Amino acid sequence: MDVNIKEERLKFILKYKIWLILVFIPLLFAHKYYLGVEQIGHFWEKEDNYTVSYYANLFKDKDYAKNYRVRADLERFDTGNERVIRLDRVYFPNGGNLSFEDYDCELVINKKILCRDNDLGEWYVELTNEKLSSF
């Protein structure tokens, strides 16, 4: 009698594991794609394209003597081969802003990258890992 009970338990556990694999795991991947976190580098980062705001340091000169801590609007998207972060616009604390349509400017967190704004000014942009909170 004990052998039959053990076999039934094993069958139940096997059915439960199969259900878990067939239903739960695909739900996790669907969650990541559709409802993922809009935070660069996060394990649950959204797979779809999105825009997000982070703090960035803006340097006018290559000697990095003076910088501006600015809010940066970023686009995170897939080029087919890799995930890319592109700079769209920065906002200065005094109310001014700069727009960027430089498609060669692909940002990396904590690395200074040379970017050209729409007025052909050159800036070194260092993206921080500090995301601005959404309201």
Is residue 72 domain-resident? yes
Can you give the pLDDT at residue 90?
94
Can you give the pLDDT at residue 74?
93
Cβ–Cβ < 8 Å for 40, 60: no
Pairing relation of β-strands 50-59 and 97-99?
unpaired
Number of structural domains in the chain:
1
Is residue 95 domain-resident? yes
Is residue 19 domain-resident? no
Q: How many CB atoms lie within 10 A of CB 120?
A: 7
- Nearest residue to 124 (alpha-carbon basis) of 74, 41, 68: 68
Can you give the pLDDT at residue 134?
62
Q: Which residues pair with 90 in a beta bridge?
A: 72, 98
Coil, strand or helix: which one is 21?
Answer: helix
The domain of 104 spans: 50-131
Is residue 91 domain-resident? yes
Is residue 106 domain-resident? yes
Can you give the pLDDT at residue 135?
44
DSSP 52: E
CA-based torsion, 59, 73, 101, 99: positive or negative: negative
Can you give the pLDDT at residue 78?
81
Can you give the pLDDT at residue 89?
93
Is residue 39 domain-resident? no
Is residue 123 domain-resident? yes
Low-confidence spans in the chain with pLDDT less than 50:
135
Can you give the pLDDT at residue 114?
92
